[in-house]
Amino acid sequence: MEPRSILGGVIVATALPYKEDASAPAGLAVDYDRFAEHCDWLVSNGCDGVGPNGSLGEYSSLTDAERRRVIQVAVEAVGDRGIVVAGVHGPGSHQAKYWAELAAEDGAKGVLSLPPTMYRASRSQVVDHYAAISEVGLPIMAYNNPIDTKVDLVPDLVAELAQIENVVAIKEFSGDVRRAFEIAELCDIDIIAGADDVVFELLLDGAVGWFAGFPNAFPAESVEIYTLVRSGRIDEARELYKALVAIFRWDSRVEFVQAIKLSMEMVGRYGGPSRPPRGPLTPEHEAGVRADMQRAIDYLASRTPALV
């Protein structure tokens, strides 16, 4: 298997636990102790690192103090056993750069950044956004999520971003698996699978990493899928992926945060509630998550893991 790139491997977009506290925003305080334990559990189960303050980490619902403390706790919990790739998403480059500066100061090894949020930025504005973040000096994983940002980092734009000194990877969440080859034809940048339900296809097409949601519930099994594909053991990886892809599809749905937290509960972890605007799953959605998750749990209980 080829060596992993600096931001490659299985990096978990960490869910964030809350505990009830009437004095906290929306009556929910960040449970830093549970979060530290969760980060430790993920790397202890073979994940290469954690990615706090992403969409799954509900960064936009955090206070500035909470957002910084989340990174500090992740760095402390992971230590030298893995890397922390901090989400630095912001409406403007000055805000994203500020969060990158704090991430560097607090020990993160890389940053993940969307294009400007809450604004349909032009091509030149997108380039300027990443150029400003690059001034901090940390490796940057650009994040293409045209569903949320309304800005699509199409392959030729990714090629332009790859010319910026510290932009070393692209997290691809468009769902279009054809892009992996086109990006590779245009530039030298690490392609990172950004949606759990296309990870198998993107890994086959050359992705060197998986910035993932459902490893919050299935860390060891997710590492197994990644390692099997990267080792060329495709049939074994396909069988495992087929059994999990139904629940993985929830990673690409609006309710992904709540779905992943419920999935964590179903494997004996703490998921807990989310802050607004996210509310509880509807009964229909909860039933769907539970059914898909139970099929995955039953399959995993019946199998002997591959030796990887």
Tell me the per-residue pLDDT of 224-273, one tens digit each, with 9 for 90 and over: 999 999 999 999 999 999 999 999 999 999 999 999 999 999 999 999 99
Angle between helices 123-134 and 93-105 (to 10 degrees): 20
Place of tokens 């940057």: 140
Q: Which of 130, 143, 226, 241 is catalytic?
A: 143
Query: In the predicted model, is pLDDT for residue 197 greater than 70?
Result: yes
Query: In the predicted model, is pLDDT for residue 307 greater than 70?
Result: no
pLDDT recorded at residue 148? 85
> How far apart are alpha carbons 198 and 214 in whole angstroms?
13
| Amino acid present at 190 | D
Q: Which of 171, 226, 241, 261 is catalytic?
A: 171
- Per the CATH hierarchy, to which homologous superfamily does domain 9-233 belong? Aldolase class I (3.20.20.70)
Active-site residue flag, 59:
no
pTM assigned to the model? 0.96
Could you tell me the residue ranges of all domains in the chain?
9-233
pLDDT recorded at residue 304? 81
pLDDT cut 90: percent of the chain above it = 95
Active-site residue flag, 143:
yes
How does the average pLDDT of the chain come out, rounded?
96
> Per the omega criterion (within 30 degrees of 0), is the bond before 277 cis?
yes
Query: In the predicted model, is pLDDT for residue 145 greater than 60?
Result: yes
Q: Which distant-in-sequence residues (6+ apart) come within 8 Å of 10 by Cβ?
A: 46, 47, 48, 209, 210, 212, 215, 219, 222, 223, 226
Query: In the predicted model, is pLDDT for residue 308 greater than 80?
Result: no
| Better pLDDT: 276 or 149 | 276
